[in-house]
């Protein structure tokens, strides 16, 4: 009976001890924005056995304290709340690349959530098959308010500026090479196909 109770309380004691460790080292505390496994949200509270993490969808996850000790945890607000957001952009090869970069930076400066220092930046990543691939990098200090929405706002602002300045967005292109028709020579019916072989004549 004692052995059974010991095995049954093993996880409970492990979570309890893990919670005490987290409270002592304060590596994770209420209000932090974290990502553990597939859960991303902000820590609402700590309990004896679990922590309450609320996602942007309003779903409250009760995560055992042991997972914060044994799993890899991303704490977006451990030292500070600064988070860099990367937004990929594709530009047509027919567009003015320098103008496109300046427009992306202007769109970032007009957003209130994006910091002025560090400054927003736009880099040329590579030359793709159908587009010149850019990446806009910006900094925010409120990841608990969402990262996907700031990406959407920035993309929409860039869309408007590209339309105003006639900067083209790319689309898939394929080059077709049509060759001249090849003349095929047909063999005459009188050609001897069985040269050197006996003919099969009816008896």
pLDDT digits (tens, 9 = 90+) for 66-95: 888 888 888 888 888 888 999 999 999 988
Average pLDDT (109-134) is 92
- Where in the chain are the domains? 2-75, 83-164
pLDDT digits (tens, 9 = 90+) for 23-65: 888 888 888 888 888 888 889 988 888 889 998 888 899 999 8
The pLDDT of residue 151 is 93
| Residue 30: CB atoms within 10 Å | 11
Candidates 2.30.30.60, 1.20.1300.10, 2.50.20.10, 3.30.450.20; CATH matching 2-75: 2.30.30.60
The pLDDT of residue 189 is 57
Q: Give pTM, 2 decimals.
A: 0.66
pLDDT higher than 80, residue 187: no
Question: Which CA distances in Å does 53 have to 61, 116, 158?
Answer: 5, 31, 33
Q: Which residues lie below 8 Å from residue 50, measured CB to CB, with a gap of 6+?
A: 15, 62, 63, 64, 65
Question: Which CA distances in Å does 128 have to 59, 82, 85, 132, 133?
Answer: 39, 31, 22, 6, 6
Report the residue count for the chain: 203
Fold (CATH) for 83-164: Alpha-Beta Plaits (3.30.70)
């Amino acid at each position: 009976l004692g052995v059974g109770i010991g095995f049954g309380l093993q996880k409970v004691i492990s979570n309890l001890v893990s919670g005490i460790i987290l409270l002592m080292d304060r590596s994770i505390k209420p209000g932090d924005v974290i990502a553990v496994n597939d859960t991303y949200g902000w820590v609402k509270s700590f309990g004896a056995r679990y922590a309450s993490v609320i996602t942007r969808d309003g779903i409250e996850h009760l995560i055992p304290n042991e997972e914060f000790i044994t799993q890899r945890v991303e704490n977006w607000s451990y030292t500070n709340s600064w988070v860099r957001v990367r937004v990929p952009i594709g530009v047509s090869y027919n567009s003015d690349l320098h103008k496109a970069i300046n427009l992306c930076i202007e769109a970032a400066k007009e957003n209130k959530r994006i910091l002025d220092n560090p400054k927003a930046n736009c880099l040329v990543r590579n030359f793709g098959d159908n587009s010149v691939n850019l990446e806009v990098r910006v900094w925010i200090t409120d990841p608990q308010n969402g990262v996907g929405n700031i990406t959407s706002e920035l993309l929409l602002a860039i869309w408007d500026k590209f339309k105003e300045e006639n900067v083209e967005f790319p689309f898939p292109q394929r080059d077709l090479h049509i060759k001249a028709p090849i003349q095929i020579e047909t063999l005459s019916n009188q050609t001897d196909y069985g040269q050197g072989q006996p003919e099969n004549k009816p008896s």
